[in-house]
Structure 1
């Protein structure tokens, strides 16, 4: 990872107060290493705790009387409250303190993960369902705090290599997504419902003392700009729509894929978790690559955003596959499509943060932790919108029209966002060319007038 390169890529911005002393060195400082370790530990632990539900919770919830739609709502409420938490924490990051927010978020997330492990002791019906909602809501608030603070701290420590660092740390998010489902499935199969949650919750809690010791504190003055000014920028709005569409695609799989695999291919719960590996592993491998390319060649970001969405749309048509294609559903095809989807997701997700940050700086936002908090909160919030809508619609559509058609409809989100982003970049390119042409014509006219002046006198 070249997280502290000597040349600042265009478009990522800089931070004279926080990174100028480190950005010219080819080696990582001790502070930067500590930031990376803290963020990596949070990504790994929290994503493992988040992803263990996929292989077995839908079936367990069915036993407790929850419908597929209700299961989708349990998955989706997490994202809804992470959305609200991210907006609030992004706005007040400077006042609360990034380090405190990070540690408190991890503590809450680890504690309620353990609490989720005892919910099977509750009676079936409304009591079980209500408690699932409450625990997931509190967990979402904790995770929203931790991820918003983490992204801001990373961007502060690595002002000129934001995409590279975020992409590299997605390896640990991916490892969490990779390890979570199979680990959760096998622990559930071997020891029952409680053990997966208690073990993962304890792992997250044990990371807190480490982060209290090594994570640096960053202080800054509150910024003058608001979320409202940020979201009214057209480019930011379109990137937000891209984030929502991609997040909803991921969220769609949580309540539906395990049920589809169990019904279609009759796999045991432990092996269902392995199916999720196709998506998580390819996303983990591709994210650092696309992060490095986004920082070294910023002009490629627009192509990543557009084509990543279009490839994702094609993947969801083939996930079932959609009946109109007359392709037989096979396990190897499903895994292959998930692998390709992981690469396309890395292609389109990683450039979103630096593109949004670049747009903010170009429109007068100050360079500092306050703006980074706004961007981090907005990215987390938009991701949460999709993560809320994906499971909700996924559970409902799976129940009404089946997985094949539900996946195809989900793919339309990615198709629309990819086309919209492509049209915007074409418009932006034509606008830039017209501006340059006018400027050249104006310069040429002034030169002609200057050349004629001596003759006129």
Structure 2
């Protein structure tokens, strides 16, 4: 199936020329573009809910099975490692496998292993339980990498002149999934037991598959001649990859440490900790579409978004504690305000990265098609996963 926008499909933007190309883009979405948005929104929401559902109750269940805190952390951490490896492979061979097949297959495996995770409480305690947890978690990481890599590539193919706008808008569904996952999982766990949260979410993901098989377009392309190493060897791409890696590490580091800090420092009930995180998630979800739109309409602002976004993020982390040299008293209202600013700065820093990498790749001779889109989306997912691995190391140092 040919890409929307003409018999030969639209050509992705090159650098600042996207400003001119944007004027040629139809104001109304085509039928194919609308279907692509539905598919991408479904995988963003479903995958983030499945990813975040473990947090509230799995460590407790693992402890009942004789699993130490260290091993439980490794079970969580292996997800990022296999997501990293799978993203690189799927990004390289996206064209050979097929973007639509990779997307649908990733959803199928993700839904299946989510349900399988729900029956692990029936597995005997000890090494057998630990081994099954690792296997299921690894399979979930690989399936997630397949679906997200294909989703990014399909989106960039369907919306070549508004990549940042679309990706920024879809971050609303990612944020919604991360926000809804833990409370929904906790409610189902308390009401019905360990199995139901996983079975419920897994079935929802599986029910999305027939819809996506029907509505998702099938984009064909020839394999490219370039590799990840040629892409990452570009100085600008290497710098942006470092930015992605750093932001992922900072974002993930807040999950385990901030909740403990809030509980100990302000003596809040456990139920209110989630409301503190809501400031970060909501500001990121709201600001991302705006920065995406500005990145597409005014590409020359992307570098400034990256620069100032990272500077503001660094300042926010200095003020979260705050660091002792500032001699500022830690207060709850200040913490929430800083988290809101951090969410905005994260949107400012993250959203322009993919269109900037794409522009740099095209300017340096990479072919315009799914092959390059797969490399870029795989690189983004891989660098994000590396950041989560670094977050785990930082967390262990902090706990010591």
TM-score, scaled to structure 2: 0.89
Runs (5+) with no aligned partner, structure 1: 401-457
Cα offset, 1:144, TM superposition: 0.2
Give 1:11's aligned residue: 15
Verify the 8 A CA contact 1:93 1:149 in the aligned structure 2: yes
**Aligned mates of 2:309, 2:50 — CA distance in 1:** 27
Give 2:185's aligned residue: 184
Verify the 8 A CA contact 2:14 2:363 in the aligned structure 1: no
Give the 5 Å matches for 1:191-270.
Answer: 191-264=192-265, 270=271
Verify the 8 A CA contact 1:9 1:295 in the aligned structure 2: no
**Aligned mates of 1:248, 1:177 — CA distance in 2:** 16
Give 2:147's aligned residue: 146
Cα offset, 1:66, TM superposition: 4.5
Is 2:175 the partner of 1:171? Answer: no
**Aligned mates of 1:255, 1:119 — CA distance in 2:** 24
Give 1:376's aligned residue: 377
Verify the 8 A CA contact 2:55 2:182 in the aligned structure 1: yes
Cα offset, 1:10, TM superposition: 5.8
**Aligned mates of 1:120, 1:258 — CA distance in 2:** 27
Residue 15 of structure 2 aligns to a residue in which SS? Answer: coil
Classify 1:253/1:75 alpha carbon distance in 2 versus 1 (closer, same or farther; 3 Å). Answer: farther
CA deviations on 1:142-175 (whole Å, 9 max, x unpaired) are 0000000001001111111111111111111111
**Aligned mates of 1:362, 1:110 — CA distance in 2:** 39
Give 2:25's aligned residue: 24
**Aligned mates of 1:68, 1:347 — CA distance in 2:** 35
Give 2:353's aligned residue: 352
Cα offset, 1:382, TM superposition: 0.8
Verify the 8 A CA contact 2:149 2:377 in the aligned structure 1: yes
Residue 221 of structure 1 aligns to a residue in which SS? Answer: coil
Classify 1:351/1:92 alpha carbon distance in 2 versus 1 (closer, same or farther; 3 Å). Answer: same
Give 1:399's aligned residue: 399
**Aligned mates of 1:118, 1:273 — CA distance in 2:** 27
Classify 1:322/1:205 alpha carbon distance in 2 versus 1 (closer, same or farther; 3 Å). Answer: farther
Cα offset, 1:226, TM superposition: 1.2
Deviates more, 1:60-69 or 1:167-176: 60-69
**Aligned mates of 2:197, 2:248 — CA distance in 1:** 25
Q: CA RMSD in A?
A: 2.8
**Aligned mates of 1:187, 1:390 — CA distance in 2:** 29
**Aligned mates of 1:256, 1:127 — CA distance in 2:** 30
Verify the 8 A CA contact 2:16 2:300 in the aligned structure 1: no
**Aligned mates of 2:325, 2:163 — CA distance in 1:** 42
Cα offset, 1:283, TM superposition: 1.0
Give 2:366's aligned residue: 365
Verify the 8 A CA contact 2:103 2:151 in the aligned structure 1: yes
**Aligned mates of 1:145, 1:42 — CA distance in 2:** 11
Give 2:111's aligned residue: 110
**Aligned mates of 1:172, 1:221 — CA distance in 2:** 31
Classify 1:330/1:131 alpha carbon distance in 2 versus 1 (closer, same or farther; 3 Å). Answer: farther
**Aligned mates of 1:380, 1:170 — CA distance in 2:** 14
Runs (5+) with no aligned partner, structure 2: none
Verify the 8 A CA contact 1:72 1:392 in the aligned structure 2: no
Classify 1:156/1:7 alpha carbon distance in 2 versus 1 (closer, same or farther; 3 Å). Answer: closer
Give the 5 Å matches for 1:313-328.
Answer: 313-328=314-329
Classify 1:207/1:8 alpha carbon distance in 2 versus 1 (closer, same or farther; 3 Å). Answer: closer
Larger radius of gyration: 1
Verify the 8 A CA contact 1:13 1:367 in the aligned structure 2: no
Classify 1:84/1:7 alpha carbon distance in 2 versus 1 (closer, same or farther; 3 Å). Answer: closer
Give the 5 Å matches for 1:267-346.
Answer: 270-346=271-347
Verify the 8 A CA contact 1:187 1:196 in the aligned structure 2: yes
**Aligned mates of 2:298, 2:360 — CA distance in 1:** 16
Deviates more, 1:114-123 or 1:204-213: 114-123
Give 1:42's aligned residue: 43
**Aligned mates of 2:343, 2:157 — CA distance in 1:** 28
Give the 5 Å matches for 1:402-413.
Answer: none
CA deviations on 1:362-410 (whole Å, 9 max, x unpaired) are 101111111111111111111111122213431x12320xxxxxxxxxx
Matched length: 391
Residue 276 of structure 1 aligns to a residue in which SS? Answer: helix
